[in-house]
Amino acid sequence: MRLLRFLKTLPVRFAIAVAPLLRFLAALFLLAAVILFFAGVTQQGTHTSTATHWQSISPSSFAAFQASVTRNIGAWAWDPVLLSVLRLPAYILFGSLALINGIAGRRRRVVNVFIN
């Protein structure tokens, strides 16, 4: 019976344990988004895409990721889906990742319910 009660509360415990990590990742993604935004503003207002950044940093990993996606999922997943996401400016991608992690890791409000 105790094991069943423990397994029932496991998702709540996991969410409580992972929330600080998600908030930390949200702060890192937001920092990267702000840095990339101001880097784009100072370079004559040209914001480079995430794919361009990735290809300039590590072209071999970009090509390996492309080959892996087309081999395992299909060519349809690379060209219209992932490539359109990677063509976004890097600060938009990292800002949206920060928003998603921030919402997922937010502190939940404790609601006390009293039944008489």
Residue % of the chain over a pLDDT of 70: 96
What pLDDT, in 10s, does the model give residues 82-114? 999 999 999 999 999 999 999 988 887 777 788
Burial class (CB in 10 A: 0-12, 13-18, 19+), 56: exposed
What pLDDT, in 10s, does the model give residues 9-26? 767 777 778 889 999 999
Whole-angstrom distance, CA of residue 46 vs CA of residue 40: 5
Domain boundaries, the chain: 15-47+90-107, 49-88
Burial class (CB in 10 A: 0-12, 13-18, 19+), 40: middle
What pLDDT, in 10s, does the model give residues 49-95? 999 999 999 999 999 999 999 999 989 998 889 999 999 999 999 99
pLDDT at 14: 75
pLDDT at 80: 86
pLDDT at 86: 93
Predicted structure pTM score: 0.78
DSSP for 62-83?
Answer: HHHHHHHHHHHT-HHIIIIIIH
| Confidence bin at 7 (pLDDT 50/70/90) | low
Beta bridge partners of 80: none
DSSP 87: T
* 112 or 48: which leads in pLDDT: 48
Q: Among 12, 2, 11, which Cα is nearest to 108's? A: 12
